[in-house]
């Protein structure tokens, strides 16, 4: 298995690796170590995890390392010339001020006036030159910043033209010019895959499909058969652009389009994304849906840990949210609604274990501005296998996503964790989740970005939460929303790719 991260924060690949190894498959999960160069290994169940160091030497696009006719006076972006030059000028200014200070000291010590005048006159050219150099360096730094802004502006003509040129000339191969950093992943991981000589390469997401496809082609050149399972987590054309890098998204789209055809099987995270992938890549069959459900079989035991962490009792209305905090997730909206819900508390299980509170600070400031700090509780993440039990102490859960292409198709792991915790759901009207909630009756849907409609939905759910919890008791609602059922779908894909080898779990039964 291949993944483009450090594994520890990716619950889906962890579950895939652990379950496949438990079923008898020989699993090596390869991820990336971005800090340091020493590889690292450990175990997830019976699966071996191997982190490989990556040297991101191609991260800086070569266009950012050269001069441009757009701003000919600019320092070369991407280099430290500007910082070095300005610091050098500051040092010379300190030296000059020191020498003028020495003249003042000499005057107090009685040095003859004519000698002081000569010494001061000798410093005047240096003083004038330093002023010119400082203004020149500041101008060039200003031009450099303007050039960086222009290169990062997706609407600038001289930014769009090279992208359109390479797309027209090279088509799906254009990523090589638009984002050569994708080669850094190949250089780090390609040989590792070759040395393992796997029967199946399970490539998670859009970066790893290229690694797997090239490994498959090299294996074929050696007379070996290697199968590729592509696990598509995102709809790449619907992803957000990288700020300041208009080349990035077109490059990822082209890269995925070039290598998708080498996949022997495709799996993905939602029915809607399955349909879109088949349409866009003209796949011969509909990708298998493997929902990102929690690894639970039994109903969670009553748990008051969440309420204790919030400092509230069993009778206090408590809404739960689990996941990252940023503007597109809509967390600011549910905080803005708190003044309209005076008796309600909100638990945001959102603080990253690395201790960085930068993403949480705007929410903390918003809560303080609205006077609801005492009812908005920012809490640290809990272990993936504890999420369902931990959240079960809330009265309802919130999924406030804003309208973006990938949000419209999402049935996120949080959706299924909330469901396994038997929580009534309050979800924005992003398409896939809204359809599911309406069909099951497990919650209420509100119009995204509409605070008052959100307040309406919350009040309706809290007025009779048992009505919505009852939806989970209907036969079949939760039967497929657990990882054991979803992994069975994935294992069928593996077994179909190498039919001469029976599924390990089947052969043992």
Domain boundaries of the chain, sorted by first residue: 11-60+179-289, 73-155, 305-478
Residue 32: CB partners within 8 Å, gap ≥ 6?
Answer: 3, 4, 5, 6, 51, 52, 53, 54, 185, 188, 189
Q: Do 241 and 154 contact (CB within 8 A), yes or no? A: yes
Q: Where are the beta strands (DSSP E) in 273-344?
A: 288-289, 318-322
At 288, give phi and psi (nearest 5°): -75, 135
Q: Which two tokens stand for residue 285?
A: 């069959």
For residue 185, CA distances in Å to 113, 207, 239, 266, 342 come to: 70, 8, 20, 21, 50
Query: Would you give the distance in Å from CA 509 to the centre of its chain?
Result: 39
Q: What does the pLDDT read at residue 105?
A: 83
Nearest to 415 by CA among 314, 403, 431: 431
Helix (H) or strand (E) holding 313: none
State both tokens at 301. Answer: 């035991």
Q: Beta 40-44 vs 47-53: how paired, if at all? A: antiparallel
CB atoms within 10 A of CB 305: 14
φ, ψ for residue 325 (rounded to 5)?
-115, 115
pLDDT digit of tens for each residue in the chain (509 aa)?
Answer: 999 999 987 889 999 999 999 999 999 999 998 665 456 889 999 999 999 998 876 666 666 555 666 777 777 665 567 777 778 888 888 888 888 888 888 777 777 878 778 888 888 888 888 889 888 888 888 877 787 777 677 778 878 898 999 999 999 999 999 999 999 999 999 999 999 999 999 999 999 999 999 999 999 999 999 999 999 999 999 998 888 889 999 999 999 999 999 999 999 999 999 999 999 999 999 999 999 999 886 777 778 999 999 999 999 999 999 988 888 899 999 999 999 999 999 999 998 766 667 888 999 999 999 999 999 999 998 887 889 999 999 999 999 999 999 999 989 889 999 999 999 999 999 999 999 999 999 999 999 999 999 999 999 999 999 999 999 988 677 888 999 999 999 999 999 998 765 555 554 54
- The encoded tokens of residue 69 equal 């006719």
Q: Which helix (H) or strand (E) holds 136?
A: helix 113-151
Contact 451, 426 (CB under 8 A): no
Task: Answer whether 325's CB lies under 8 Å from 297's CB.
Answer: no
Tell which residue, 450, 445, 452, has the closest CA to residue 431.
445
Let me know if the fold of 11-60+179-289 is the same as that of 305-478.
yes
* CA distances for 267 relative to 13, 192, 283, angstroms: 13, 23, 12
Q: Which of 127, 140, 143, 124 is nearest to 85 (CA)?
A: 140
pLDDT of residue 165: 94
We find that the CATH architecture of domain 305-478 is 3-Layer(aba) Sandwich (3.40)
The model's pTM is 0.80
Tallying the residues shown for the chain, one arrives at: 509
Strands 200-204 and 47-53: unpaired
- pLDDT value, residue 70: 72
Closest by alpha carbon to 433, among 444, 449, 421?
444
State the Cα–Cα distance between residues 259 and 282, nearest whole angstrom.
13
In this structure, are residues 384 and 413 in contact, taking their beta carbons and an 8 Å threshold? no
**Residues facing residue 7 across a β-bridge:** none
CA angle 92, 94, 97 (to 5 degrees): 110
Residues 379 and 306: their CA atoms lie apart, in Å, by: 9
What pLDDT is stored for residue 241 in this prediction? 85
**Cα–chain-centroid distance for residue 455?**
29
Alpha helices in 282-330 (DSSP H): 305-310
User: Within 13 Å, how many C-alpha atoms sit on residue 363's CB side?
Assistant: 28
The tally of CA atoms less than 13 A away on the side-chain side of residue 10 is 22
**Unique residue bearing structure tokens 């730094």:** 141
Which CATH number describes the domain made up of 11-60+179-289?
3.40.50.2000
Half-sphere exposure of 303 (CA within 13 A, CB side): 17
| Per-residue pLDDT at 509 | 46
Tokens 């079949």 correspond to what residue? Answer: 476
pLDDT score at 37: 47
Q: Which residues have C-beta within 8 Å of that of residue 478, sequence separation ≥ 6?
A: 419, 420, 472
Query: The tokens of 362 are what?
Result: 């705007």
């Amino acid at each position: 298995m291949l993944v483009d991260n450090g594994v520890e924060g990716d619950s889906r690949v962890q579950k895939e690796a652990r379950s496949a190894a438990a079923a008898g498959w020989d699993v090596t999960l390869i991820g990336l170590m971005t800090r340091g160069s020493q590889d690292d290994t450990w175990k997830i169940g019976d699966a071996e995890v191997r982190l490989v160091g990556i040297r991101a030497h191609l991260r800086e696009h070569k266009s950012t390392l050269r001069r441009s006719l757009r701003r000919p006076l600019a320092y070369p972006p991407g280099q430290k010339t500007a910082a070095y030059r300005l610091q050098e000028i500051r040092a010379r200014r300190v030296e000059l001020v020191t020498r003028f200070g020495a003249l003042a000291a000499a005057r107090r010590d009685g040095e003859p006036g004519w000698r002081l005048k000569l010494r001061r006159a000798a410093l005047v050219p240096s003083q004038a030159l330093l002023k010119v150099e400082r203004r020149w360096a500041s101008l060039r730094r200003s031009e450099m910043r303007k050039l960086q802004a222009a290169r990062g502006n997706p609407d600038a003509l001289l930014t769009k033209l090279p992208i359109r040129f390479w797309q027209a000339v090279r088509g799906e191969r254009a990523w090589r010019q638009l984002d050569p950093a994708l080669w850094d992943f190949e250089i780090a991981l390609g040989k590792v895959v070759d040395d393992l000589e796997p029967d199946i390469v399970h490539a998670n997401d859009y970066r790893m499909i290229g690694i797997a496809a090239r490994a498959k082609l090299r294996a074929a050149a050696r007379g070996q058969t290697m199968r590729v399972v592509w696990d598509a987590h995102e709809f790449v054309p619907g992803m957000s652009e990288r700020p300041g890098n208009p080349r990035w998204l077109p490059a990822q789209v082209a890269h995925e389009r070039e290598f998708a055809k080498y996949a022997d099987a495709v799996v993905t995270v939602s029915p809607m994304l399955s349909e879109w992938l088949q349409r866009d890549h003209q796949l011969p069959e509909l990708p298998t849906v493997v929902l990102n459900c929690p690894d639970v079989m039994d109903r969670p035991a009553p748990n008051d840990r969440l309420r204790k962490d919030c400092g509230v009792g069993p009778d206090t209305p408590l809404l739960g949210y689990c996941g990252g905090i940023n503007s597109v997730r809509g967390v600011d909206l549910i905080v803005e609604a708190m003044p309209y819900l005076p008796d309600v508390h909100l638990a945001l299980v959102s603080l990253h274990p690395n201790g960085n509170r930068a993403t949480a600070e705007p929410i903390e400031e918003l809560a303080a501005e609205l006077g609801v700090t005492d009812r908005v509780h920012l809490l640290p993440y809990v272990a993936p296998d504890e999420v369902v039990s931990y959240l079960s102490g809330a009265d309802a859960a919130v999924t406030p996503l804003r309208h973006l292409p990938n949000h419209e198709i999402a049935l996120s792991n949080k959706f299924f964790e909330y469901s396994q915790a038997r929580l009534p759901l309050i979800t924005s009207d992003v398409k896939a989740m809204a359809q599911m909630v309406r069909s099951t009756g497990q919650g209420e849907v509100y119009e995204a970005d509409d605070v008052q409609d959100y307040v309406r939905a919350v009040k309706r759910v809290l007025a009779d939460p048992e009505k919505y919890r009852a939806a989970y008791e209907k036969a079949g609602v939760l039967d497929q929303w657990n990882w054991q059922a979803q992994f069975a779908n994935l294992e069928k894909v593996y077994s179909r790719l190498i039919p001469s080898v029976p599924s390990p779990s089947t052969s043992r039964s």
